[in-house]
Amino acid sequence: MATEPSPSARQRRQPLLHGIVSRTTLLILFFAGLVGALVALGSTVVVAQEERKRLQQNVTDLIQSVERTASVAAFARDEQLAAEVAQGLLGNRSVHKVVIREGNRVMIELGHETARSGRALPVQVRPLMSPFMPEQQVGEIEVWPAAHRIDEDAGAYSRFIAVILGMQLVAVALAAAWVVLNVITRPVKTLSDSLHSLRAGSGDRVPVPAGHSGDEIGRLAGDINGLIVRMEGMLDSERELRAQREESEKRFRLIFEAAQTGMFTLDAEGCMHNWNPWLARTLGLPACNEDTEPYSLRRLLGPEASRLDALMVRALSDHRPAAADFQTTSAHGHVLWLHLVLNPMSGQLLQGIVNDVTDQKRAEASAIAMAERDALTGLLNRRGIEHRLDQALDGLQEGGLALMLVDLDGFKEVNDTLGHEAGDRVLTAVARQLESIVRRSDVVARLGGDEFIVVLGALDSPDTARFIAAKIVTSLARPIELDGAVHARIGASVGIAYTRTRDEMPDALMRRADEAMYEAKRAGKSQYRFAS
């Protein structure tokens, strides 16, 4: 079976131009050649110009060297001597024509009339002075420089200089390439190959290239080894942290499975994920595993789903836990109160914790019920009737609601003549009579003293309230038997406030009923009146 080649083997198989050694050498030679070409071109132009100037200066120097001899020839009118001077000048490559005059007469003219190239140099004319009288001019000498030969000689010299410079640059480039190759690129490649061949966790280190222990390459190798040590330390720490996390997850899983508290994850759609066994048993959910579909908490809470939405929005917007109590039904069909805490997590997820607070809610309800009951008669007291009246007005849908304020007539005389114990029996008897007259859905309460309240709901018309009020007045006008032959006689004045709207405040309804009750008392007692 074929084996996968190692990274170092794959690297050795790469094309030559992909290696740092080859690329560095080629780049050095390329830029050296480019610079050499530019230098050679520039030096050719400069050297050629300087060489032209030098050759032209040579022509001037030649004229100066034969000027005295030419002066003698002109003074003596010696054409043979003038011809020798001209031949001597024409022997130089830089001169192509010489003319020597004695006065206005041409003594000798040698050379070509025109240059071979299109480029011409100015003719150099020098006066010839008398050897004996320097202030007297006896003739002149004209010399035509050979421009094409000067250009040829200057070009040849500049090309020679360019070749020398080019060879020097090539030698310098090769030397630089050799130095870079052996001092920088090969050690770097050695470090790269060593680094590629390292195995994670083997404890191996990158060797320092020979001769580089004290320079930057040696420091680079040391830094690489230091990085390897730190990476190995980080890997060891990560392994340890992973082991600790796995242990923590095991402990959390044990707590999650055995906790007597509901735990779950809730997404932004209100669907539960990863619930624990306690929640499954309490709410009748299937056991949660990887294949279990998410369960809608909204559907579980039913009518209170809107409160769940508000709780989720508050937790996600405030980025802190939010809690509320919800009423639902247990797996066995019993009423269940749950205290739900939502804690925001990353993204749009929420962590939910549920506690069963049914017993606490029942205790609270029992305490509230006891606080809202009259200890003597068992009826609702003032606090209880205020609560029930608010509920009755809020739930008013169709029909009307009547509030009756019943005040006993003659009760003070019963207390004064028969005693407070007899008065308590009278109050208890009145409570039972009022309960027997109204429907079970109606409410009877004792405000305190000898004042009672009756709330009639879902009335088709005020006539029903009149009928009930008349029965109350008639019933309470009968004697109340206490002990054997002892009877107590009382009466009742009733004020009625009727409403068909839920917008009326309970205090206003009570005030209207109270005014109607006092109107009945002023009218002679033991009767009822409707509030205007």
Q: 391 with 439, same domain?
A: yes
Q: 55 with 134, same domain?
A: yes
CATH number of the domain that residue 106 is part of: 3.30.450
Q: 403 with 346, same domain?
A: no
Q: What is the pLDDT of residue 48?
A: 67
The alpha carbon of residue 410 and the mean position of all alpha carbons in its chain are separated, in whole angstroms, by 81
Rounded Cα–Cα distance for residues 508 and 489 (Å): 32
Q: Residue 315 domain-assigned?
A: yes
HSE-CB for 508 with a 13 A CA cutoff? 9
Maximum CA extent, the chain: 197
Give the 3-state secondary structure percentages of the chain, helix then strand then coil, rounded to 5: 55, 20, 25
CB 165 within 8 A of CB 39: yes
Reported as a single tens digit per residue, the pLDDT across 10-37 is 544 444 445 666 677 777 777 777 777 7
Q: What is the pLDDT of residue 499?
A: 93
Q: What percent of the chain has pLDDT over 90?
A: 24
Q: What is the pLDDT of residue 475?
A: 95
- Structure tokens that stand for 99 in this block: 């003319």
Q: 330 with 440, same domain?
A: no
State how far the alpha carbon of 268 is from the alpha carbons of 308, 310, 321, 347, in Å: 11, 12, 15, 9
State how far the alpha carbon of 26 is from the alpha carbons of 18, 114, 155, 185, in Å: 11, 52, 32, 12
User: Measuring CA to CA, which residue among 461, 333, 473 is closest to residue 401?
Assistant: 461
CATH number of the domain that residue 487 is part of: 3.30.70.270
Q: 395 with 431, same domain?
A: yes
Domain finish residue from 161, 177, 193: 177
Domain finish residue from 334, 360, 386: 360
Q: 331 with 472, same domain?
A: no
Q: 439 with 521, same domain?
A: yes
Q: 410 with 458, same domain?
A: yes
Q: Residue 234 domain-assigned?
A: no
Residue type, 318: D
**Kind of pairing between the strands at 350-356 and 443-448:** unpaired
Q: Residue 223 domain-assigned?
A: no
The list of the chain residues with pLDDT below 50 reads 1-2, 4, 7-9, 11-17, 115-117
Q: 395 with 452, same domain?
A: yes
Q: Residue 66 domain-assigned?
A: yes
CATH number of the domain that residue 346 is part of: 3.30.450.20
HSE-CB for 66 with a 13 A CA cutoff? 27
Q: What is the pLDDT of residue 67?
A: 78
CB 491 within 8 A of CB 525: yes
Report field, pTM of the whole predicted structure over 0.75: no
Q: Could you tell me how many residues make up the chain?
A: 532
Q: 376 with 498, same domain?
A: yes
E strand or H helix that includes residue 186: helix 186-197
The alpha carbon of residue 422 and the mean position of all alpha carbons in its chain are separated, in whole angstroms, by 80
Q: 394 with 488, same domain?
A: yes
Specify the DSSP class assigned to residue 287.
P
Q: Residue 210 domain-assigned?
A: no
User: Measuring CA to CA, which residue among 518, 416, 433 is closest to residue 472?
Assistant: 433
Q: 142 with 34, same domain?
A: yes
Domain extent, residue 345, equals 264-360
Residue 55's φ and ψ, nearest 5 degrees, are: -65, -40
Q: Residue 56 domain-assigned?
A: yes
Q: Residue 512 domain-assigned?
A: yes
Query: In total, how many domains does the chain have?
Result: 3
Rounded Cα–Cα distance for residues 27 and 35 (Å): 12
Q: Residue 222 domain-assigned?
A: no
Domain finish residue from 360, 388, 412: 360
Residue 117's φ and ψ, nearest 5 degrees, are: -105, 165
Reported as a single tens digit per residue, the pLDDT across 240-281 is 888 888 777 777 666 666 677 888 888 888 888 888 888 888
Q: What is the pLDDT of residue 16?
A: 41
For residue 271, with 0-12 CB atoms within 10 Å meaning exposed, 13-18 middle and 19 or more buried, which class applies?
A: middle
SS3 513: helix
